[in-house]
């Protein structure tokens, strides 16, 4: 609010000056003095009102008035629709194949940082807000199931923030555009390699996909890379059929094109393709979350006022993300749809809200779309807690240190982390770091309950290891 108020004062500064002009005119007996006084008064009133409106629009609070108005869109519990900027489509001679990301590292992400929000006209992926990533790829010559030849190539590519999770997952859809030998310094590379970023998010499993055949039967194609690649080739050859939503309904396509998709479906039914892993082996060599900005992950802070009033934590899940032309240094501003599960047990509801999503969270979007919310005691408002959300998503390793100094990693166990977050919040204990050290004095009143959660998850071995541990002492840690 303070920052918004400062901006509003600068923007409206000339208008309140009319008050001084009007006052001088009124003292001089001018008839038009009231006009200047009214203009000045309106301008003076507009400063706090516009600042409040802007602050509310940018603060990550969601209320029931944000309920999704468009009821024609039905989102399943596992649905996730991603509307990302389009990639370069290449020439007609280019072919779509799969590429595995062997290594990835951040080269440059350098927003100017001169304004809280930066909005562009028309360009949805400006370079300064689009990370430049260096990658080593293993590019397959065809479907992986056909054991085609492959080659390796290394290069630097601009990656839209919404599609960074495809790199972490390790599966990309790329175009190979044949070119003359002079354009190819590496003779083993048959042409130019161009990643298709929205399609890569689909191939990686970030975006969900289901196919409805001509008989109305639905089949899940999420994380079936061989089948999805065949879909992409048909789409490209048929003139760019949109594969943006989560559903491909063959009943709405040209009969000849629908027949090609049906042939792919029949082939899959004859030899079903199992889902690919959530992330390919070697994720540590392409982990980008530590290199990109965003809210630091932690078990979270607790407001004493919120805790005393009976506030609780709640969970939500992203159902849709849509790119906009507005950015912040630590992440893009996205139009989102959230399914919120109130902590009081009332039915879940879908809310549409424009939010700034941290870019480090976007790198693991293929693994989770869960969000942690501060819920008001009355259940009417929810505030996105990105520190807890990032910890739950796994952007940073979470660790519990027992009273006797034993380190227990709880990363990759979201339900354990969720239980610990709720336990601390219910006792009004803040722990902004991703390490929960039970030797510290503030943790003494929660150490026993925390160890119960740990023993329930890890079994008696951990329980025996800490059963004889002394209670936390004043000044320990």
pLDDT of res. 167 = 98
Of 438, 430, 429, nearest to 401 by C-alpha is 438
| Structure-token pair, residue 445 | 């009143």
Q: What is the mean pLDDT of the chain?
A: 85
Tell me: pLDDT of 182 over 50. Answer: no
Of 421, 346, 425, 343, nearest to 389 by C-alpha is 421
Give, for 119, the enclosing helix (H) or strand (E).
strand 118-119
Let me know: does 208 contact 222? Beta carbons within 8 Å: yes
Of 183, 98, 83, nearest to 143 by C-alpha is 98
Q: Between these two residues, 210 and 460, which has the higher pLDDT value?
A: 210
Let me know: does 322 contact 73? Beta carbons within 8 Å: no
Cα–Cα separations (whole angstroms), residue 326 to 29, 100, 120, 254 = 49, 31, 6, 37
Q: Measure the CA–CA gap between 437 and 465, rounded to whole angstroms.
A: 16
**Dihedral over Cα of 221, 227, 229, 233: its sign:** negative
Span 452-463, average pLDDT: 76
Contacts 24+ apart (CB under 8 A), 148-153: 151/188, 151/189, 151/190, 152/102, 152/188, 153/186, 153/189, 153/193
Three-state secondary-structure class, residue 150 = strand
| Structure-token pair, residue 181 | 């030998």
DSSP string, 171-229: EEEEEEEE--GGG-SSTT--EEEEE-HHHHHHHHTSS--EEE-TTS-EEE-TT-HHHHH
**Dihedral over Cα of 114, 118, 120, 125: its sign:** positive
Of 99, 110, 108, nearest to 133 by C-alpha is 108
Tens-place pLDDT, residues 183-215: 555 556 777 899 999 999 999 999 999 999 999
CB atoms closer than 10 angstroms to residue 177: 18
Classify 240 in phi/psi space as left (phi over 0), alpha (psi -120 to 50) or beta. left
Tens-place pLDDT, residues 143-166: 654 455 788 999 999 999 999 999
Of 57, 73, 76, nearest to 65 by C-alpha is 57
Let me know: does 348 contact 341? Beta carbons within 8 Å: yes
Tell me: pLDDT of 338 over 80. Answer: yes
pTM of the model as a whole? 0.84
| CA atoms in the 13 A half-sphere facing the CB of 338 | 28
pLDDT of res. 145 = 43
Of 98, 96, 88, nearest to 233 by C-alpha is 96
Whole-number percent of the chain with pLDDT over 70: 87
- Domain residue limits, the chain: 2-59, 84-286, 397-477
Phi, psi (rounded to 5 degrees) for 55: -65, -40
Q: Measure the CA–CA gap between 28 and 12, rounded to whole angstroms.
A: 26
Tens-place pLDDT, residues 233-252: 998 888 766 656 688 889 98
| Structure-token pair, residue 5 | 């108020």
Q: Measure the CA–CA gap between 328 and 2, rounded to whole angstroms.
A: 18
Specify the length of the chain in residues. 477
Cα–Cα separations (whole angstroms), residue 387 to 106, 311, 361 = 22, 17, 10
pLDDT of res. 400 = 94
Q: Measure the CA–CA gap between 94 and 459, rounded to whole angstroms.
A: 54
Q: At what angle do helices 447-458 and 460-467 cross, to 10 degrees?
A: 150
Tens-place pLDDT, residues 54-76: 666 667 888 888 888 876 677 88
Q: Measure the CA–CA gap between 98 and 459, rounded to whole angstroms.
A: 42
Tell me: pLDDT of 312 over 50. Answer: yes
pLDDT level of residue 470 (50, 70, 90 thresholds): very low
pLDDT level of residue 280 (50, 70, 90 thresholds): very high
Q: Is 150 exposed, middle or buried (0-12, 13-18, 19+ CB in 10 A)?
A: middle
| CA atoms in the 13 A half-sphere facing the CB of 120 | 16
């Amino acid at each position: 609010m303070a920052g918004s108020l400062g901006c509003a004062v600068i923007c409206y500064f000339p208008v309140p000056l009319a008050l001084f002009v009007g006052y001088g005119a009124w003292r001089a007996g001018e008839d038009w003095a009231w006009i200047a006084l009214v203009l000045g008064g309106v301008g003076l009133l507009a400063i706090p009102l516009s600042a409040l409106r802007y602050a509310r629009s940018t603060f990550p609070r969601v209320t029931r008035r944000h309920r999704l108005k468009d009821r024609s869109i039905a989102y399943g519990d596992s649905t996730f629709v991603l509307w990302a900027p389009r990639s370069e489509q290449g020439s007609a001679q280019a072919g779509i194949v799969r590429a595995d990301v062997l290594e990835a590292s951040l080269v440059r992400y350098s927003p100017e940082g001169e304004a809280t929000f930066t909005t562009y006209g028309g360009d949805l992926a400006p370079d300064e807000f689009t990370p430049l990533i260096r990658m080593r790829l293993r590019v397959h010559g065809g479907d992986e199931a056909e054991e085609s030849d492959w080659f390796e190539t290394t290069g630097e590519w601009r990656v839209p923030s919404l599609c960074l999770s495809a790199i972490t997952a390790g599966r990309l859809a790329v175009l190979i555009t044949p070119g003359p030998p002079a354009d190819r310094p590496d003779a083993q590379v048959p042409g130019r390699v161009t990643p298709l970023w929205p399609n890569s998010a689909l191939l990686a499993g970030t975006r969900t996909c289901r196919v409805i055949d001509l008989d109305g039967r639905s089949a899940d194609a999420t994380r079936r890379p061989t089948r999805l690649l065949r879909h992409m080739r048909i789409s490209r050859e048929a003139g760019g059929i949109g594969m943006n939503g989560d559903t491909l309904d063959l009943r709405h396509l040209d009969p000849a094109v629908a027949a090609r998709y049906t042939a792919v479906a029949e082939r899959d039914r004859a030899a079903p393709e199992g889902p690919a892993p959530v992330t390919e082996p070697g994720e540590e060599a392409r982990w980008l979350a530590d290199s990109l900005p965003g809210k630091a992950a932690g078990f979270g802070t607790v407001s004493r006022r919120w805790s005393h009033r009976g506030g609780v934590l709640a969970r939500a899940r992203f159902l849709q993300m849509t790119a906009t032309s507005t950015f912040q240094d630590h992440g893009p501003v996205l139009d989102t749809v959230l399914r919120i599960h109130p902590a009081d047990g009332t039915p879940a509801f879908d809310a549409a809200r424009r939010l700034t999503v941290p870019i480090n969270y976007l790198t693991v979007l293929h693994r989770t779309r869960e969000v942690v919310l501060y819920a008001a005691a009355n259940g009417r408002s929810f505030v996105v807690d990105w520190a807890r959300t990032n910890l739950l998503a796994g952007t940073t390793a979470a660790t519990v240190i027992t009273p006797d100094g034993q380190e227990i990693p709880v990363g990759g166990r979201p339900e354990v982390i969720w239980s610990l977050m709720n336990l601390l919040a219910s006792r009004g204990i803040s722990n902004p770091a991703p390490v929960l050290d039970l030797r510290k004095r503030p943790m003494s009143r929660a150490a026993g309950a925390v160890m119960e959660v740990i023993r329930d998850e890890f079994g008696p071995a951990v329980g025996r290891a800490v059963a004889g541990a002394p209670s936390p002492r004043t000044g320990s840690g």
